[in-house]
């Protein structure tokens, strides 16, 4: 980033936040604090009303506002593609807002930029596959959960786990204080405080049923910041699977959530997974048929063998 672009970006950061430290600006723009000091001085000399508070940071004088800025072709394409992503993945309200936003962005672009951006956009396309039909229900849930997060109201739903718990049940009723929504490998996940487990838990929206919002209120802990939240990693069991070369590409493209490494060997593709319980991979391994062999642990090899024997009895 050249100096001119950085100066403009600094003003935008100051306009976006009330107070910004020089250290944070240096980290954002990958430069030194000394360079930020010089940039602030240059902006002040250019007439930008910047106030510096020792030990706190820099801020713009109240009432100062940067005039509308122009977009490069790449910036315009990025914004327009972003609106298409929101339209497909978010709930109907934000989907509608993304369409109107796209129209406003296109309206303010100069003709040359708009034409070039349109030409480049036509080389990208989001295609919804058959499995994405289930996302219609997820989007409806996103809207309910989003409102509950903003209004700090609890929600309740029936949740289906990937494997049965010790009591043999796969489903349970959960009452949750929703803290945030994230997209993990193409799937919406709710992060919130679960009253049943008395801890922060993660819930895939695709496994929710009978979602309702409650009148019960909650107060999100001030210490919880979604941007900084790191879930505890309790996937301590490693499973290694040998995949035959003729279906290796299929496995690579499947993007299994638990995949840790993939290595090409003479006998095929060695895939290592990290899971809480090997059974989390049982259906995945069985779905590959004779194209996959569990190498370790031995206990999981035996579990797959038992399942195959059960299947043979059915035939």
Q: Identify the band that residue 132 occupies on the pLDDT scale cut at 50, 70 and 90.
A: low
Give the span between the Cα atoms of 241 and 233, in whole angstroms.
22
Asked if the model's pLDDT at residue 28 lies above 50, the reply is yes
pLDDT of residue 127: 65
Q: Higher pLDDT residue, 210 or 126? A: 210
pLDDT of residue 5: 81
pLDDT of residue 64: 65
pLDDT of residue 166: 55
Helices (H) and strands (E) in the chain, counts: 10, 11
Which of 3-7, 113-117, 279-283: highest mean pLDDT? Answer: 279-283
As a whole number, mean pLDDT of residues 116-130 equals 73
Give the span between the Cα atoms of 117 and 109, in whole angstroms.
9
What CATH fold (topology level) applies to the domain 237-314? Answer: Alpha-Beta Plaits (3.30.70)
Note if the bond before 297 is cis, omega within 30 degrees. yes
pTM passes above 0.75: no
Q: Identify the band that residue 301 occupies on the pLDDT scale cut at 50, 70 and 90.
A: very high
Which residues 6+ apart lie within 8 Å of 178 measured at CB?
A: 145, 148, 149, 154, 155, 190, 191, 192
Considering the segment(s) 3-60 as one domain, its CATH architecture is Orthogonal Bundle (1.10)
pLDDT of residue 193: 96
Quick one: what percent of the chain has pLDDT higher than 90?
Answer: 39
What's the helix, strand, coil split of the chain in %, to 5?
45, 25, 30
Q: Identify the band that residue 107 occupies on the pLDDT scale cut at 50, 70 and 90.
A: confident
pLDDT, one tens digit per residue, over 55-85 is: 788 888 876 665 666 778 888 888 888 888 8
Q: Identify the band that residue 240 occupies on the pLDDT scale cut at 50, 70 and 90.
A: very high
Alpha helix positions (H), the chain: 3-16, 22-28, 33-45, 73-89, 92-108, 111-121, 135-151, 248-254, 282-287, 298-314
Locate the domains of the chain by residue range.
Answer: 3-60, 73-121, 145-217, 237-314
As a whole number, mean pLDDT of residues 194-198 equals 94
As a whole number, mean pLDDT of residues 152-175 equals 82
pLDDT, one tens digit per residue, over 264-280 is: 999 999 999 999 889 88
Asked if the model's pLDDT at residue 215 lies above 90, the reply is yes
CA dihedral sign of residues 139, 144, 149, 155? negative
């Amino acid at each position: 980033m050249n100096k001119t672009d950085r100066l403009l970006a600094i003003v935008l950061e100051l306009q976006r936040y009330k107070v910004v430290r020089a250290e944070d600006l240096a980290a954002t723009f990958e430069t030194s604090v000394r360079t930020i000091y010089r940039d602030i001085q240059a902006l002040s000399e250019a007439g930008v009303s910047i106030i510096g508070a020792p030990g706190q940071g820099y801020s713009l004088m109240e009432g100062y506002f940067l005039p509308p800025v122009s977009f490069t072709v790449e910036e315009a394409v990025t914004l327009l593609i972003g609106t298409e992503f929101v339209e497909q993945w978010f709930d109907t309200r934000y989907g509608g807002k993304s369409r109107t936003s796209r129209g406003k962005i296109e309206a303010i672009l100069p003709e040359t930029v708009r034409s070039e951006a349109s030409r480049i956009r036509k080389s990208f396309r989001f295609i919804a596959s058959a499995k994405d039909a289930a996302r219609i229900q997820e989007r409806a849930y996103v809207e309910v959960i989003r409102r509950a997060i903003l209004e700090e109201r609890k929600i309740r739903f029936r949740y289906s786990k990937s494997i049965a718990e010790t009591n043999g049940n796969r489903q349970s009723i959960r009452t949750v204080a929703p803290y945030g929504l994230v997209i993990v490998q193409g799937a919406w996940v709710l992060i919130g405080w679960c009253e049943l487990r008395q801890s922060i838990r993660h819930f895939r929206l695709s496994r929710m049923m009978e979602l309702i919002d409650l009148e019960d209120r909650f107060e999100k802990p001030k210490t919880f910041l979604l941007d900084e939240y790191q879930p505890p990693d309790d996937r301590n069991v490693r499973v290694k699977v040998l995949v035959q070369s003729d279906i290796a590409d299929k496995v690579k493209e499947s993007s299994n959530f638990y995949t840790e490494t993939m290595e090409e060997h003479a006998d095929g593709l060695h895939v290592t997974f990290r899971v809480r319980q090997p059974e989390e991979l049982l259906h995945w391994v069985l779905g590959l048929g004779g194209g996959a062999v569990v190498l370790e642990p031995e206990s999981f090899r035996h579990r797959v063998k038992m399942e195959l024997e059960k299947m043979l009895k059915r035939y």
